[in-house]
Amino acid sequence: MAKIAIVYHSGYGHTKVQAEAVLEGARQVPGIEASLIEAAAIAAEPGAASWATLDAADAIVLGAPTYMAGPSAPFKAFLDASSGRWAEQRWKDKLATGFTNSAGYNGDKLATLQQFALFAMQHGMVWVGLGLLPGNHTSQGSPEDLNRLAGFLGAMAQSNADAPPELAPPASDRATACHLGRRIAEAALRWRSGQVPQRAAA
Amino acid sequence: MAKIAIVYHSGYGHTKVQAEAVLEGARQVPGIEASLIEAAAIAAEPGAASWATLDAADAIVLGAPTYMAGPSAPFKAFLDASSGRWAEQRWKDKLATGFTNSAGYNGDKLATLQQFALFAMQHGMVWVGLGLLPGNHTSQGSPEDLNRLAGFLGAMAQSNADAPPELAPPASDRATACHLGRRIAEAALRWRSGQVPQRAAA
Amino acid sequence: MAKIAIVYHSGYGHTKVQAEAVLEGARQVPGIEASLIEAAAIAAEPGAASWATLDAADAIVLGAPTYMAGPSAPFKAFLDASSGRWAEQRWKDKLATGFTNSAGYNGDKLATLQQFALFAMQHGMVWVGLGLLPGNHTSQGSPEDLNRLAGFLGAMAQSNADAPPELAPPASDRATACHLGRRIAEAALRWRSGQVPQRAAA
Amino acid sequence: MAKIAIVYHSGYGHTKVQAEAVLEGARQVPGIEASLIEAAAIAAEPGAASWATLDAADAIVLGAPTYMAGPSAPFKAFLDASSGRWAEQRWKDKLATGFTNSAGYNGDKLATLQQFALFAMQHGMVWVGLGLLPGNHTSQGSPEDLNRLAGFLGAMAQSNADAPPELAPPASDRATACHLGRRIAEAALRWRSGQVPQRAAA
């Protein structure tokens, strides 16, 4: 058994769709208990029950839209609110990964994922990426390909600015997010079942 | 004449000290009108007068502490609140630069400055960096050196976590911030006085 | 009059196509003298004439394919070979911008452009980005749009891994690179014609 | 048992000292077989035996000096030379981490570590960071502290530009590198001993 906590912010519903796809992927793996947490709901609530869910997780998945060159402000407020746990290194040695959505094909999505990875490293977590080769990068490729956006650090999604969450992000990006969910779940099972070496006195 | 708007967030006063040093540097340059803007005060106030100050500026200086791998959430809220202006490219061709403070010597300060530079690029602004060689990087160097932290993209400062803003960041980091203020001011005068080519029909 | 030096590496010809489009754009601007420099040809030749071309330029444009999460090694060798000039800050206050090509839509292209911008900041140069809103990011958009890849820090291009340089990158990416050439050229004219403030004793 | 391959480039010997400290740390952990590989010696030698060492490793540690805003060109040549293995994802699910040295306290060291992490993600590897809180960040701190440079993504070291490798990087940075070696070794044992879930048909 391993526990996955997916904490996200979604401004207009598209990143929520992506988060749900990650959740679906994680739940496809036997032995996984996975849940969604709305970052904006707990950022200013130190006593919210979801903090305990995060504390108990084997892996934390971070997701937010890319707004103006980084994760959305409500999600950043959640990241900042974890600083007490950081000071105690309470999340040390958990696994982590991330996802992001924006309207442009690039649109500085990488910068958001880089910030998530740095955040995880401050917490002493271990980062698991997407684990896929690029899709849609030859003349035989198509926008239907898994990882059509060629992300590696995490799952990227692209949603047209005028499309509702029913339509965007498209099926390929949802499948890519689902893949990330499976990957972090499998990694969590492996990591959790591994034997932790006894630490010699430093 | 050129106008410099320094917009910043400070959690405990240290980044404010850095902002004031940038302001002092900008004002040392003849022909400069410079002002400080508190980001947190205007992020949720679209009608605040300081937005007009930003709109009228020749150069915008962005400053925030580095919290948990990126700019503080209240500052990110300001960045996000500029998205309407981004969509209209109202800040296009202004100059921009930035500064950040944190307790560690590195502490992912570079990530904050990188986000600021990407933000400026989304707005179509032009980025001016610190323009200094590294200090304190030979056996003849000292922590008193200008640019003791060896930043390039903007001005970095380091404040001990238990030191009040009266003591931290130290004089060398204040002088480095002052240098950044002079540099952006001089660049703004040069850029403003330059002849803008007539754009041929695209 | 202003001089633009476009220094690039191209492994298979696609990035060369992009470089030529930047050159074409720069030359569309009256009063510009622009030239291409092959980075690999001068990286190990400190006496090569092209170094003097770079020294005399008002703006330097950096271009390389993104290989394995950063600029290609032959281009990195050129960047490293500039370290003597860096130590003397001989390129200080020049303008700079950049471009990159890879097979994936993202494929860590942003990381290459970020490295170029940091490099420029070490040299004390001033960074001019693409200056375009994203293309192809609404349901009315198309892959034919200018800036279809939604880059901001510089010009991005995507070339299918099995397509020859005659076909890839496609017309929209060539037009985007051409736009970058015009933009850096216009900025160079403006910057060059601007009045440099007299520096007071520091 | 787990195998650690530390592949590095060192221009003047300082990064080699750091690599040796990582090696020492890894070897302090019972059950570890660790070795050093000179990147420059194998980048152009596809048949070199060290490639097999890398292929057989449970964890790969990447180390290079930061030159001009990124890893040194000889090390980048090694990264690029791994592209055939990338296309086959032969290093998938190995662990990875990294280290870097430069003369400045920041000096864009973070950018080098970020490139290493992105590279690892392209290969489908899993990134293990330093796992330490910052040192020397309060009035009680000292340059003798472990992690005096406050890095998180990997181990940072700072060597005065005029100091020989006998003196630089200093003891604290060597101890920090040693810590990274122990950490990646312990993670490799845990990861290797973990049970890999059977993958359901995708």
Pairing of strands C2-8, B126-128: unpaired
Interchain pair D134, B108: CB under 8 A: no
Give me Rg for the CA atoms of chain A: 16
Please say if the pLDDT value at position C200 is more than 70: no
Of D103, D111, D134, which has the smallest distance from its Cβ to B110's Cβ?
D111
Confidence check: pLDDT of A199 > 80: no
Interface size A-B, in CB pairs within 8 Å, comes to: 74
Give the pLDDT of residue C202: 46
Contact B130, B110 (CB under 8 A): no
For chain B, the domains span: 2-193
- List pLDDT tens digits, range C76-128: 999 999 999 999 999 999 999 999 999 999 999 999 999 999 999 999 999 99
- The tokens describing B140, both together, are 């003849």
pLDDT of residue A202: 47
All residue ranges of chain D with pLDDT < 70 are 199-202
Give the residue among B91, B65, B87 at the shortest CA–CA distance from B3.
Answer: B91
For residue C76, the chain D residues in CB contact (below 8 A) are 70-73, 76
- pLDDT for A200: 52
| A88 CB-near residues (< 8 Å, 6+ apart) | none
Give B15-59 pLDDT, tens digit per residue. 999 999 999 999 999 999 999 999 999 999 999 999 999 999 999
Encode pLDDT of D43-91 as tens digits: 999 999 999 999 999 999 999 999 999 999 999 999 999 999 999 999 9
Q: pLDDT tens digits, residue range C14-33?
A: 999 999 999 999 999 999 99
Which of these, A17, A26, A64, A62, lies nearest to A174 by C-alpha position?
A: A17
Q: What is the ipTM of this complex?
A: 0.97
Residue D202: per-residue pLDDT: 46
Give the span between the Cα atoms of D131 and B143, in whole angstroms: 27
Residues of chain D with C-beta less than 8 angstroms from the C-beta of A125: 129
Please indicate if any CB of chain D lies within 8 Å of the CB of B138: yes
Distances (CA, A) of D169 to A34, A78, C41, D144: 45, 37, 34, 12
The pair of three-digit structure tokens given for residue D94, joined into one six-digit string: 């190995």
C26-78 pLDDT, tens digit each: 999 999 999 999 999 999 999 999 999 999 999 999 999 999 999 999 999 99
Q: Do C106 and A109 touch (CB under 8 A)?
A: yes
Contact yes or no for C160 and A141 at CB 8 A: yes
Q: How far apart are CA D127 and CA D59, in angstroms?
A: 10
How many Cβ contacts (< 8 angstroms) between chains B and C?
101
Give tens-digit pLDDT for A126-184: 999 999 999 999 999 999 999 999 999 999 999 999 999 999 999 999 999 999 999 99
Q: Which residues of C touch A149 (CB under 8 A)?
A: 104-106
Of B29, B127, B133, the CB nearest to C126: B127
Q: What is the mean pLDDT of chain B?
A: 97
CA dist list (Å): C161 to C13, C102, C131, C197, D8 = 12, 8, 28, 49, 30
Q: How far is A138 from chain C (nearest CA, A)?
A: 4
Contacts of C108 in chain D (CB under 8 A): 118, 122
Q: Confirm if D8 and D44 have CB atoms less than 8 A apart.
A: no
May I ask the CATH class of domain D2-193?
alpha beta
How far CA A91 is from CA of A36, A57, A79, B11, C120, in Å, comes to 18, 9, 13, 24, 37
Mean pLDDT, residues A111-119: 98
CB contact under 8 Å between C70 and D108, yes or no, is no
